[in-house]
Each structure stands twice: as structure tokens, then as C-alpha cells.
A and B are shown apart, each in its own frame.
Chain A
Amino acid sequence: MSATTAPAAARSPRGTALTAVVILAALGIPLVANSYQLEVLSEAWFYVLLCLGLNIVVGYAGLLDLGYAAFFAVGAYTAGLVTLKLGLSFWLSLPLAVVAASIAGVVIGGPTLRLRSDYLAIVTLGFGEMVRITVRNLSVTGGASGLVGISRPWLFGYKLSSIENYYYIFLALAVLAVVASHRLERSRIGRAWKYVRSDEDAARAMGINHAAIKLSAYVMGAIFAAIGGCFYAAKMTAIAPETFTFNQSLLILLGVVLGGRGKIPGVILGAIVVVVAPELFRDIGSMRMLVFALSLLLIMLLRPAGIWPERWRWG
């Protein structure tokens, strides 16, 4: 029962070794991989960030969110607008995206998080679509064709533009997301998320303001996605509304549920699977999404708590 905030992996020998191997391998990959493989893996790290963010909402707080891609869009469009329309530094878009996502989170979550979870699913789904349709119809966001020519960020006089650069950026974001999730999970607020998920009335009787706690989970999840969205915009230099569809929200949710809600290593694995698996099935052409969907269905039927083993705790 120590109050340490170091990642759990650092506290058991097996966990330490495993973490070291994973990180070393991840760092070394650009030396051997081709650019297609780097694209896929960058996307995988990006999904680790998104899935860990959604895991706060779905895994820890137990809220069903079907519109999570909206917050990803908020981040991406903030970066696009800040650099393109305002001509400001990319780095400024990060705090602005955090603020924008927090406001969006409070506005949508504030009145709806009191709802039963099935209503919540519908409202969040509607919110996701609303954001997509709004950016599609506004001229400032470039309408259906989106924003093109977003400028690359500079770091220490160096312009971040190669796929290797973005591979490392998304790897770093994934690592930060793991550390943040891990610290949150073992904190006063993180436990409160789990109390509210487990038994809302008992949590209230313990002096926990359930509405505020749910909102904090929702906003924290939104912040993860918004930060990811900023870097996504920088990497792609072009963003369009069709990136932020319901399917996108669903895929992120799939990563969380597949890996195992509330289990960090499981969610990491789930995120990697939803990105990498369709690529592995690429050879079988048009059937690949079907094969992918069926395998996911099978896994979820066989392991409803996720693919990460229940007793194999990382730490």
C-alpha cells in the first residue's frame, strides 16, 4: 500500500524487464522498419493515446461514450485553425485545444452525465455526429474538404516533418498517456471514478459528488483526445470531417473493450490490435474488414472482460 506514483511496471522485476524490452524495441523500430510499417505503428501509438483517454471514461468511470472522436476532432481542428487561420505556433494549439475540449466536455457532459447510461450513449453519439456535421458545414473549418496545408511544428529549430519524427512523437504521447493513466488510476480522483462506476449510491454516501466526478472523467478523456488530435493534424497537414465519424469513435471503443476496460496493458494491446490487425489482413483484399470484425466478435464472445488476462497484473 505505498503511495508511489511510479508506474506499477517499475515495481515488479518481471514488469520492469517487460517494460524495458517493449520501450527499447519501440525505440529501435525506425532503424529497421520501412515507411509503411512506421505509418502503421505511428497510428498504433496514436490509438494507444486515444484508447487510454477513452478508457478513463468507459473503463474507470463506467460511462458509455459513443462520440469520443468528437474530442479528437476538437483537437485537430484547433491545431488547424490556430496555425492556418491565426498564423500562430502549433505549440499554442495544445493549451487552446485542452481548453476547447474541456469546455466541450463540460457543455455536453454537464447536463447529460446524470442520465442513465443508455441515454448517455445516445447523447454522446449525437454529440459526435453534431461536431462532425458542424465542421462540415462551416466555411472557417473548410467544409467537407476540411483544412489543408497545416504547417509543421518546429522543435529546437528543427522542423518536424518525417515519419520517423512522428513515430517518436506518438510513441512519446503513448508513454505519457500510460504514465498519466497509471497515476490517475491510483489517485483520489481515479478511485472516485471507480467508486461511482461500482455503486453510485454508495459513492454518494461516502461524500462523493457523483455528477462532478463523472464530469471530471469525461473531461479528462476529452483532453487526452484533444492533445492527440493536435499532433494528428500536424502529422497529416490536412484534416477532413470524415476522419471523425461514428466509425472512428467505435474503433477507439473497440480497442478499449477488446483489451479490457480499466486495465492499462490490456487497453494498450487492444489499441495496437485494432490498428495493426486490419493491415495484416490486407492480403485478402475486400474481405479484410469482415475477417477483422468476425475475429473481434469471436474474441469478445470468448473473453468478455478483454484479451488481457485477468490475473496477470502488470505490477
Chain B
Amino acid sequence: MALLEIAGMSLGFGGIEVLRDLDFTVEEGSITSLIGPNGAGKTSVFNCLTGFYRPRSGRITLAGGRIDRLAPHRVTRLGLARTFQNLRLFRELTAAENVMAGRHCRTGAGALDAVLGTRRHRREEAAIAQAAQHWLDFVGIPDAAERVAGSLPYGHQRRVEWARALATEPRLLLLDEPAAGLNTSEKEELIALMRRIRDELGITILLIEHDMGLVMQVSEHIGVLDHGRKIAEGTPDRVQNDPLVIEAYLGRDEDDASEAA
């Protein structure tokens, strides 16, 4: 069953066309990837899905309900969580406080509850603190809780961002280049973590990634974007051998080469 369906989605800024008539489907329970050269429009797809960009046309449905035209916070409440290509942690806050952010949309105590110290406030705070520690444990950094997020090693900061996204209890997790800047062993751990998220938590994953080895290893389904258009789609095997895909990557290399010259 399709968890996420993108149909005929186009996006533009002024005269620039960023996405053109995009159709794409993510099956429930899958690890699906979106690949393509730099500037192809991958991150823009995420921004459309999460309500940060408003597509010019097309429709997006999550588990059958339309989510285009919803504000980002409402999309998250409906079960879509993301990480950012460039880490977007609350750097001056602790790792635990960062992860607690994910619980905001699943809790409801107000300012008055806090001032009066109501039971609801106390009960929720205890549960939020517990959840924060749980997710930090889950992503493998149990001791980071009280550390200021910005002071953690880069790989751990990435994990805090994952824990924060998981804390929102998503149905679909969007990961934007999670392996960027990680070393080989960290990448191995990342693959294991992605599999645990899917297998143990039953969360569907949509991945943007440049590391082709990693993509081919974890994905069941891959979509390829180039210049805002989907040029190929299918299993890793099929996509790898698609002449259009090969050309898109090689073609871009030639561009880069001539630019550099």
C-alpha cells in the first residue's frame, strides 16, 4: 500500500522551474531513496512534502489524506518527520531538550498548567523527559542528554537530529543526506539504525543520499531526479543500469569539469 503519493507536483520560484510534473510513490514499510545530481531538486521535494514550500500544482497524500497546502507543524502532527541536509539543531540547548522538541506536538500542557504546576503538566513533563532519554538511547548516545547539542561531535549531532525526529512518532521519516560527513564505520551504524527504525518501529523511510553504495545497499525502491524531472525509478539494480541515469551523472561530471577548467 502506498503511504505517500506525489502526483503531478510542480514547483517554481519566479521564472525558475525547480520541479516539473513529478509523480512518485513511497510504499508503506519500505526504505525508498531519492537520488540525483546536486541541484536536481531533491531537497525541494522534502520542502514541499513538509509544507515549507508550496507547489505550484499537483497533490500530495499521506495515507490517503492530502497534506499539500498544510503548514509544516500540521504535516508533522500527521506523521511526517524530517532531518535537514545541513544540521538544524537547537545548538545552544542540551541534546535532551532538542529531543523533547519532538514531543511538543504529541503533548498539550499550556503555559497556565506550567505556572500552576498542574498534574497534567507534571505528568507530561515526566513522560517527555523519559521519551527524550529513550530516543537518545535508541540512536546510541545515551550519555549525551545533558550535553549542549552544539558541543557534541558531528556524528552525535546527527543522531540527536534523528532522535528528535523519531520523538514526533512519525509514520514516514524523511532523511536528507544523513551520511554526509560521516566516516565508513559511522555509515555502517547509520545503515543498521535505518533498518532498526523500519523493522522495529515500523516507520517508513524516504532517503536522499549521495553515497551510492549506501543507497544501493539499503533501498528497496529508488527514484532518480535530474533538473527537477524524474528520469528513472525502480529497484537498485534497474536504476543502476539505466542509461538515462548514467548519463545524468556523467553529464553532470562533464559540466563540472568544464566549469572547473
A residues sitting closer than 8 Å to B (CB atoms) are: 1-3, 5, 180, 183-184, 186-192, 194-195, 198-199, 201-210, 216, 220
What would be 30 A-B contacts, judged by CB atoms less than 8 Å apart? A1-B96, A1-B133, A3-B122, A3-B125, A3-B129, A5-B122, A183-B114, A183-B115, A184-B114, A186-B114, A187-B109, A188-B103, A188-B110, A188-B128, A190-B114, A194-B93, A198-B92, A201-B88, A202-B90, A203-B90, A204-B73, A205-B72, A205-B82, A205-B88, A206-B101, A206-B105, A207-B76, A207-B77, A208-B101, A216-B111
Chain B residues 85 to 107 lying within 8 A of chain A, measured CB to CB, are 88-93, 96-97, 100-107
* With contact pairs A183-B117, A205-B50, A208-B104 given, residues A189 and B88 touching in the complex (Cβ less than 8 Å): no
* With contact pairs A1-B133, A199-B88 given, residues A184 and B111 touching in the complex (Cβ less than 8 Å): yes
Contact partners of B92 in chain A: CB under 8 A: 198
Contact partners of A203 in chain B: CB under 8 A: 90, 101
A86 to B73 alpha-carbon distance, docked (Å):
45
B residues sitting closer than 8 Å to A (CB atoms) are: 50, 52, 71-73, 76-77, 81-82, 84, 88-93, 96-97, 100-111, 113-115, 117, 121-122, 124-126, 128-129, 132-133, 145-146, 164, 168
Contact partners of A195 in chain B: CB under 8 A: 90, 93, 101, 104
Of the candidates B82, B121, B122, B145, the one whose C-beta lies within 8 Å of that of A1 is: B145
Whether the pair B168, A201 counts as a contact (CB closer than 8 A) is: no
List the A residue with the shortest CB-CB distance to B91. Answer: A198
A180 to B111 alpha-carbon distance, docked (Å):
10
A1 to B125 alpha-carbon distance, docked (Å):
10
Of the candidates A2, A5, A199, A204, the one whose C-beta lies within 8 Å of that of B114 is: A5
CB of B92, distance to nearest CB on chain A (Å): 6
Whether the pair A206, B104 counts as a contact (CB closer than 8 A) is: yes
A93 to B104 alpha-carbon distance, docked (Å):
34
Whether the pair B111, A206 counts as a contact (CB closer than 8 A) is: no
Known pairs A5-B121, A184-B111, A188-B103. 19 more at Cβ < 8 A?
A: A3-B126, A3-B128, A5-B125, A183-B115, A184-B114, A187-B109, A187-B111, A188-B110, A188-B125, A189-B110, A190-B111, A191-B101, A198-B93, A201-B72, A204-B76, A205-B52, A205-B76, A206-B73, A206-B168
Of the candidates A2, A184, A201, the one whose C-beta lies within 8 Å of that of B52 is: A201
CB of B128, distance to nearest CB on chain A (Å): 7
Whether the pair A204, B72 counts as a contact (CB closer than 8 A) is: yes
A210 to B82 alpha-carbon distance, docked (Å):
17
Contact partners of B108 in chain A: CB under 8 A: 188
Of the candidates A187, A198, A202, A216, the one whose C-beta lies within 8 Å of that of B125 is: A187
